[in-house]
């Protein structure tokens, strides 16, 4: 097990290029099994979640190789439709395999998905949609068992714009008989990227990025080479780190409209923001001001995956902030760790009231989930003194070479084997 040792208080300056988006790459890997032809996904970050998804594909009989940052998947010999519980429980995105496996084999079996412990995250929306498409589902001994004679297009209405459910329906509908319509679909950029990927394979999908998506089923999909979009959450994390530490940082590869509300909140903090094409530049000098209110919402609202990092910034800003988490009910598990660094935060249900302190101080803290861990790193970077951030396995799920990138910007951070 590794830890970060961070000597805080250094300004961050420089340029970074964002990695390919974790939340785009994982559904693309799941979609690769929809064709028996070879699929290559360029610039794949070698994070733990990608490694786990690759192992799932291998269990199904696909060949997965990584070379020079690219992933090549050949699933011509894939025959298995069951995913082992050991892998499923490691990765929330394993649930995307249900739609892909049903499209390919008319059968699918997986345990309930795992990932970060940030709430219940029920998959009822996924299962109800699949039932509408003619899938019989049995839940037995912790497994979801799905089967159908033929997937059929259907009109599906989502009660909540779930990213995972929208993507799972897309994967199931691309080769279904007839037309499928998703009303109330999620609008995230990663949904658009999945549509573009599938259409390049020969699918007929329109409307991704709006609340209504239409899919006309096709008989066959083809192999392609594809480059995913860049990671707006990673980009946002580095922008928030610069806000907390001060300095000037430019992130390449991410368009400003993908982070519109975050950039608005950073301007409220007192940061200078400049966007041009796929570059975002932040300048942060002097003590920040607290945001009056940050409320997480589905895209284009404030991302839940940046809530913890933004809270860490507000913890050492002037004034008070109200943070409202609308998507996951236990996403404040990082708050007790921030308090060890001197943060003054009171949590009540889905609300967190932050009273900004003059300066956080170094402490030994432990990551409990991916984005909460990123918040602790940001807090340590801006704090006075030395901090140790333990249990980096959560951070490794979503950030490739986090310490190396922060060093490039001037942070005093090293990764140490415990």
Q: What is residue 326's predicted lDDT score, i.e. its pLDDT? A: 94
Q: Tens-digit pLDDT profile for the chain (418 aa)?
A: 899 999 999 999 999 999 999 999 999 999 999 999 999 999 999 999 999 999 999 999 999 999 999 999 999 999 999 988 888 777 766 787 899 999 999 999 988 765 444 344 468 899 999 999 999 999 887 788 999 999 999 999 999 999 999 999 999 999 999 999 999 999 999 999 999 999 999 999 999 999 999 999 999 999 999 999 999 999 999 999 999 999 999 999 999 999 999 999 999 999 999 999 999 999 999 999 999 999 999 999 999 999 999 999 999 999 999 999 999 877 899 999 999 999 999 999 999 999 999 999 999 999 999 999 999 999 999 999 999 999 999 999 999 999 999 999 999 999 999 8
Q: What is residue 48's predicted lDDT score, i.e. its pLDDT? A: 93
Q: What is residue 120's predicted lDDT score, i.e. its pLDDT? A: 40
Domain 22-226 has CATH 3.65.10.10: yes
Q: What is residue 142's predicted lDDT score, i.e. its pLDDT? A: 77
- The CA distances from residue 276 to 21, 157, 253, 262, 282, in Å, are 20, 37, 11, 16, 12
Q: Is 192 exposed, middle or buried (CB count within 10 Å of its CB: 0-12, 13-18, 19+)?
A: middle
Q: What is residue 268's predicted lDDT score, i.e. its pLDDT? A: 98
- The CA distances from residue 375 to 83, 171, 380, in Å, are 32, 33, 9
Percent with pLDDT over 90 in the chain: 89
φ and ψ of 346, to 5 deg: -115, 125
Asked if the domains 2-19+230-417 and 22-226 are classified in one and the same CATH topology, the answer is yes
**Catalytic (active site) residue 116:** yes
Q: What is residue 122's predicted lDDT score, i.e. its pLDDT? A: 66
CATH class of the domain comprising 2-19+230-417: alpha beta
Q: Tell me the per-residue pLDDT of 323-379, one tens digit each, with 9 for 90 and over.
A: 999 998 778 999 999 999 999 999 999 999 999 999 999 999 999 999 999 999 999
Catalytic residue among 13, 52, 110, 116: 116
Q: What is residue 92's predicted lDDT score, i.e. its pLDDT? A: 67
Q: Is 390 exposed, middle or buried (CB count within 10 Å of its CB: 0-12, 13-18, 19+)?
A: middle
Domain boundaries, the chain: 2-19+230-417, 22-226
Q: Which two tokens stand for residue 77?
A: 């010999």
- The CA distances from residue 41 to 84, 102, 226, 385, in Å, are 24, 22, 5, 42
Does the predicted TM-score (pTM) go above 0.75?
yes
Q: What is residue 252's predicted lDDT score, i.e. its pLDDT? A: 98
- In contact, 340 and 367? CB cutoff 8 Å: no
């Amino acid at each position: 097990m590794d830890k970060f040792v961070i000597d805080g208080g250094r300004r961050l300056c420089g340029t970074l290029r964002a990695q390919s988006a974790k939340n785009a790459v994982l559904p693309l890997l799941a979609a690769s099994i929809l064709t028996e032809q070879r699929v290559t996904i360029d610039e794949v970050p070698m994070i733990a979640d990608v490694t786990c998804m690759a192992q799932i594909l291998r269990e199904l009989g696909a060949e997965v190789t990584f070379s020079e940052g690219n992933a090549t998947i050949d699933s011509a010999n894939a025959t298995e439709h069951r995913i082992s519980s050991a892998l499923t429980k490691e990765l929330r995105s394993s649930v995307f395999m249900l739609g892909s496996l049903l499209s390919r084999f008319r059968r699918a079996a997986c345990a309930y998905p795992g990932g970060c412990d940030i709430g219940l995250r029920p998959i009822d929306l996924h299962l109800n949609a699949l039932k509408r498409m003619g899938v019989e589902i049995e839940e037995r001994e912790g497994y979801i068992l799905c089967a159908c004679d033929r997937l059929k297009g259907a009109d599906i209405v989502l009660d909540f714009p779930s990213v995972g459910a929208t993507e799972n329906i897309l994967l199931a509908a691309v080769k279904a008989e007839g037309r499928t319509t998703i009303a109330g679909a999620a609008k995230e950029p990663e949904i658009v990227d999945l549509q573009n990927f599938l259409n390049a394979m020969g699918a007929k999908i329109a409307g991704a990025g709006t609340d209504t998506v239409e899919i006309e089923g096709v008989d066959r999909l083809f192999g392609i080479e594809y480059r995913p979009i860049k990671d707006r959450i990673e980009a946002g994390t580095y922008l928030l780190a610069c806000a907390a530490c001060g300095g000037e940082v430019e992130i390449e590869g991410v368009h400003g409209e993908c982070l519109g509300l975050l950039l608005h909140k950073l301007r409220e903090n007192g940061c200078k923001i400049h966007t041009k094409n796929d570059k975002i530049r932040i300048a942060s000098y002097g003590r920040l001001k607290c945001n009056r209110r940050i409320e997480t919402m589905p895209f284009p609202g404030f991302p839940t995956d940046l809530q913890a990092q933004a809270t860490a910034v507000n913890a050492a800003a002037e004034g008070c902030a109200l943070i409202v988490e609308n998507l996951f009910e236990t996403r404040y598990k990082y708050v007790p760790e921030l308090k060890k660094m001197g943060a003054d935060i009171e949590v009540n249900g889905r609300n967190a009231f932050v009273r900004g302190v003059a300066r956080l101080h170094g402490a030994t803290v432990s990551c409990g989930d991916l984005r909460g861990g990123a918040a602790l790193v940001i807090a340590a970077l801006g704090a006075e003194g030395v901090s140790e951030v333990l249990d980096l396995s959560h951070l490794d799920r979503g950030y490739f070479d986090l310490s190396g990138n922060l060093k490039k910007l001037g942070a005093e951070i090293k990764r140490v084997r415990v």
